[in-house]
Structure 1
Amino acid sequence: MLFVGVLVVLPTHLPLRAQEVSPNSDIHYFLDIVTTSSRTTQEKALKTIEKKWKPEYEIMALEVMYFGYSTDVGLKMALLLQKKTGQNFGLDFNKWYEYIWSKEQKILPEYAYFKSQLHKSLDAKFENYFQGRQETSLIRMDEIRWGGVQQDGIPPLRDPAMIPAKQASYLEDDHVVFGIEVNGDARAYPKRILAWHEMFVDEVGGIPVTGVYCTLCGTVILYKSEVNGIVHQMGTSGFLYRSNKLMYDQATQSLWSTLEGKPVVGPLVGKGIQMDYLSVVTTTWGEWKKRHPETQVLSLNTGYQRDYGEGVAYQAYFADDNLMFNVPSVDGKLKNKQSILAIRLPEYPEQPLAISVKYLKKHPIYQSTIEDTRFVVFTDKTGANRVYDATNLNFKKYNQQSTATDARGETWTLYEDRIENASGEVRPRIHTFNAFWFGWQAAYPDTKLVK
C-alpha cells in the first residue's frame, strides 16, 4: 500500500446520528477543523480544543495533523500537540503514533464516528467500517491506519484466468511463486503478479478459497472462504493494523484480520466466525512445476494493466529494512524484514512460534513440539518450508526434495497435504506461512523465536 499525503476536506454539513453522537460531543471541534475552509471556524475550534484538552484528544489531533500536515491548521495542530504532551516530535508522524500506542488506549466514546467522518471523503465506503462499531472492535481502533488506497484500490484477482505450466513462457525457473494444492488441484500464483493485487478469490479443488498476500509484512495465507455454509467474499479494505492489511467482507463491511482470518471490527465480531487455514508454500517456479507438472499458473491476462516484471512491484520497499508503516515497537532480535516461518496452532493460539528461515536453511530437518503436538519442518533446496505432524516420529534423513527417512528406517514421501510411508501411515500437513519478523512480532509480541 502506498500513502500519498492529502488534506481531507469533508462535506461542511455532516448528517449526525443522534443515537451515536451527541451534538455536544468534543469530536465536533476536530471535525470543524477538517470540514470547513473558514479560518475563523478553524481558529475557534483550535482555541476550544486547547482550552478543553484531555488525553482522549491526542489521537484525533494526530489524525487531523496527519491528513492536513501541509496546511497552516495542520502545523498549528502539531504545535498544540507538542505543547499539551511535552513531546517534541514535530511532523514525525511515526514518532507520534509510537508515543500514543505505547500507552493504554484513550479515546472518546464517539471516536469511531470521528474516524468514519475523517476518512469517508477518501472513499464513501470507509464510513461503514467505523460508524457505530466502536464497541465491536477486538483491536485498538487508534491503531487502524489508512494504507493510502481506496477499498479494493489494490484490486483482488477474482476467479483469475489460469494456464497450464507449459504455456507460462513468461516465467523463469528461479521466479518466486506461491504454490497451493487443494484436493489434487495444484495452482501457482507468481509473486510478480500477486504483489500488484495482494489477494485472490478463487475456487480450487472444488473449495472456495481466499489467498491474501500482505506485501508490507511478507505473509501469504490461504483460507477456506466458506464458514458455516456462508461463502465470504473478501476484499482489500484499504486499512492496516500494525502494518498488516485488514480485509473486509462485501456483505457486512466488517474488517477482518489477515493473520487470523476472523472479523475484528463490525457486526460479525463475536459470532464464532473464523476461516480455516489451508497450506501454501513459497518456492520457485522451477521447483513447483517439477513437483507438480500438471499445475496451473496465473495468466498475465489479469484484466489489469500492470508491469508484471519479476521484482518490479514494491522494489524499493523490499530493497532495504525500513518500514512503510510503523508498528508500536520493533524487536531487534532479527532484522525487520528477515523472513520467518510462522507457526500458531489452533489448539494453542497463545503459544506462537517464529523460526528464522535462515536457520531452517541450515537445518533442513527441524523437529520440535508445542505442548503435546510434535511437528517436523522440512526445508528443500529452494528454501521452501513444509510442516507436518510428526507424532511418534523422529526423522534422520531428508533429501531436500520429496523423501525423508525416520529413525526406524521407514521412508516417507512428502505431499502438499501430508507425508505418507509405504505402509500407508499418514501424517497431515500443518498449515503455516512465512512472514517478515517485524509484522509477526508486532501481532504476537510474546512469540517464541528460534534463530
Structure 2
Amino acid sequence: MMICFVLVLQTDWLLDLCSADIAAQRRAMLRVSSSEDLAYVPSLIELMLFCPDSQDAIGSLVSNLTGESRGDYLDWVAYLGANPSIVANAGYLRLRYQLFSSIDSRLAAFFSKPQPTTIRLEEIVWGGVVKDGIPALIDPKHVTALEATYLEADEWVFGLAWQGEAKAYPLRIMDWHEMANDTLGSRRFALAYCTLCGSAIAYSSRAGGRLWTFGSSGLLYRSNKLMYDHQTNTLWHQFSGEPVFGPLVDDGLKLDVLPVERTTWEDWRSRYPNTQVLSLDTGYERNYEPGAAYGAYFSSPKLMFPVWNAGDNKGQKDWVWMLRKPGAQKAYSLNFLVKNPVFVDHVGQSDVLLLTDPDNYSVRVYELTGNVVTRKDGSWWLESEKGSAALDMDFPKDVSGSMLQRVPGHFAYEFARRAFMPEIPYQP
C-alpha cells in the first residue's frame, strides 16, 4: 500500500505543471528545479506534449536540468533517445497512464502496469491517433482484377503470391489501414505497413504454435509503428516482428518474414491475371483516392517524427531493399539495383539472385541453389550440372522447370535501415 501511495505522489503533483492554478504550478516548478534530478526529464518531456500552454515553461525546466537547449517537444524526444543514461523515475509509468487516459482508455491500458520490455519506455511516443484509430483490415473483401476498375495502371500495389494464388493490396487503401490480417492459400499472414518508414512487411501469423492477429496501437518507436496483438495486447516492433513491451516479451517469439512485392498495378496484373484485389468496400468511410492519406509526407524529404540514431538527414527517405533471408540479412539501395537489374550476391551460406524491374521499381529475390547465372548473346541464362535454361525474368525456373525459391524482403526508407538494422551489410 505504501508503494502505491508513493507512486501517486510522484506523478500527481507533476500534473500541477499544467494547472491553471499559478501558485500550484510554481510550487511544482520549484520542486523539480531544486531537485536537480534528471529522472524527471522523461516526465517533463511527456507533459510538453499534453500541456501545450505550458510547453515553454516546462521546456525551460528541462533545459535547466540537462544544461541543454532544444526547441519543441519533438526536439526533446530526439534528445531523450540519444541519452539512454536518463532513466525515468518510478512514477513515469503511472503519469503516462494518466495522460493517455485523457485521450483514449484503450491506449492508456498499455501503460496500466509494469510490463517486460526490450525497448526504452521513454522512447515510445504517441503517434497522434487513438488505439485502432488506423483500423486494421481483418479478412477484408476482395474483387477480381476485372472488377478492380477503380485502379489506375501506374499506381502502386503490394503483392503476395503463394500456392497458385495472388492478392494485391493497393497503397491507396493500405495507407489508411496499415495492417491487413488475411489468408493466401493455406497461409494466414499479416501485412504490416509502416507508412512513416515506407516498409510493408508480410509476416506469417503463426508463431509459438499460435495464430496472431494485429492492429495499430497508435504508438511509435523511432518513427516506426508499434503494432499490437489482439490476443494479449502486447506491443510488437513492426520492423523486427518481435514483441517489445508486454506479456509476450519473454516468450522468445519472432514472426517469420514472407516475400512481398511493391510494384505497379499494371505489372502485377500482367503477371497474375487471376489475382484478387482489395475491394473499396472495407467497411470504413475513407477518401481512397491515391495519395489522400500520406501524399504530402511521401513527397517530402522530411520525417514526421525524430529518429535520433538515423544519422544525418541526407538521403533519409531514399529507398532501400531489405533482404530478410532467415539467418542472414542484407540491404541494397534501390539506385544500385536499378543499375544492376540482374544481380547475384552471396548472402549467408548461399547465392541469391536479385531481379529488379527498372520501369516499375519492383524487386524480387530468389535462392540460386546450385544454379549459376551467365550472360550469353545479350540474354541471361541459368546453368547447372543438368544443363542450361533461359532466365525467365517474371518466373525464374531452373533447368528442370522448377520455380526458384523466393527469398523474403521488403522496401524501406534509408533512415529505417540506419535506425533498426545498422549492423547488417549494406550495398549503397
Please indicate, yes or no, whether the TM-score normalized by the shorter chain is above 0.5: yes
The C-alpha deviation readout for 1:392-415, integer Å capped at 9, x for no partner, is 333235999xx9522553335467
| 1:53-64 to 2 correspondences below 5 Å | 53-64=36-47
In the alignment, the residues of structure 2 paired with residue 399 and residue 109 of structure 1 have an alpha-carbon distance, to the nearest angstrom, of: 70
The residue type paired with residue 323 of structure 1 is: L
Contact 2:345 2:352 in 1 (8 A): yes
Aligned to 1:29: 13
1:382 aligns with 2:382: no
Percent identity for Structure 1 against Structure 2: 34
Cα displacement (A) at 1:213: 1.2
Q: TM-score, normalised to structure 2's length?
A: 0.91
1:288 aligns with 2:261: no
The C-alpha deviation readout for 1:355-380, integer Å capped at 9, x for no partner, is 11111111001222234232121112
| 1:320-335 to 2 correspondences below 5 Å | 320-332=300-312, 335=315
Aligned to 1:206: 186
Cα displacement (A) at 1:92: 2.4
| Change in 2 beyond 3 A, CA 1:21/1:426 | farther
| 1:331-342 to 2 correspondences below 5 Å | 331-332=311-312, 335-342=315-322
Cα displacement (A) at 1:56: 1.3
Aligned to 1:411: 390
Contact 1:334 1:437 in 2 (8 A): no
Cα displacement (A) at 1:38: 3.5
| 1:186-201 to 2 correspondences below 5 Å | 186-201=166-181
In the alignment, the residues of structure 2 paired with residue 329 and residue 440 of structure 1 have an alpha-carbon distance, to the nearest angstrom, of: 10
Contact 1:29 1:46 in 2 (8 A): no
Contact 1:162 1:297 in 2 (8 A): yes
Aligned to 1:443: 420
Contact 1:368 1:375 in 2 (8 A): yes
In the alignment, the residues of structure 2 paired with residue 23 and residue 342 of structure 1 have an alpha-carbon distance, to the nearest angstrom, of: 44
The residue type paired with residue 265 of structure 1 is: F
| 1:57-206 to 2 correspondences below 5 Å | 57-69=40-52, 71=53, 73-89=54-70, 91-105=71-85, 106-134=87-115, 136-206=116-186
1:230 aligns with 2:213: no
Matched position secondary structure for 1:80: helix
In the alignment, the residues of structure 1 paired with residue 284 and residue 110 of structure 2 have an alpha-carbon distance, to the nearest angstrom, of: 27
Matched position secondary structure for 2:322: strand
Contact 1:177 1:282 in 2 (8 A): yes
Aligned to 2:32: 49
Q: TM-score, normalised to structure 1's length?
A: 0.87
1:394 aligns with 2:375: no
Matched position secondary structure for 2:38: coil
Contact 1:185 1:204 in 2 (8 A): yes
Where structure 1 has 5 or more consecutive residues not aligned to the other structure, the ranges are 1-16
In the alignment, the residues of structure 2 paired with residue 120 and residue 332 of structure 1 have an alpha-carbon distance, to the nearest angstrom, of: 36
The residue type paired with residue 389 of structure 2 is: E
Cα displacement (A) at 1:43: 2.4
Contact 2:142 2:277 in 1 (8 A): yes
| Change in 2 beyond 3 A, CA 1:277/1:20 | farther
Cα displacement (A) at 1:37: 4.5
Indicate which of 226, 229, 236 corresponds to 1:246: 226
Contact 2:383 2:399 in 1 (8 A): no
| Change in 2 beyond 3 A, CA 1:164/1:21 | farther
Aligned to 1:274: 254
More helix by share: 2
Cα displacement (A) at 1:32: 4.1
Indicate which of 344, 357, 361 corresponds to 2:334: 357
Cα displacement (A) at 1:247: 0.2
The residue type paired with residue 107 of structure 2 is: F
| Change in 2 beyond 3 A, CA 1:168/1:92 | same
Cα displacement (A) at 1:222: 0.8
- Which shows bigger deviation, 200-209 or 173-182? 200-209
Matched position secondary structure for 2:168: strand
In the alignment, the residues of structure 1 paired with residue 63 and residue 245 of structure 2 have an alpha-carbon distance, to the nearest angstrom, of: 31
| Change in 2 beyond 3 A, CA 1:435/1:21 | farther
Contact 2:234 2:247 in 1 (8 A): yes
Alpha carbon RMSD of aligned pairs, Å?
2.5
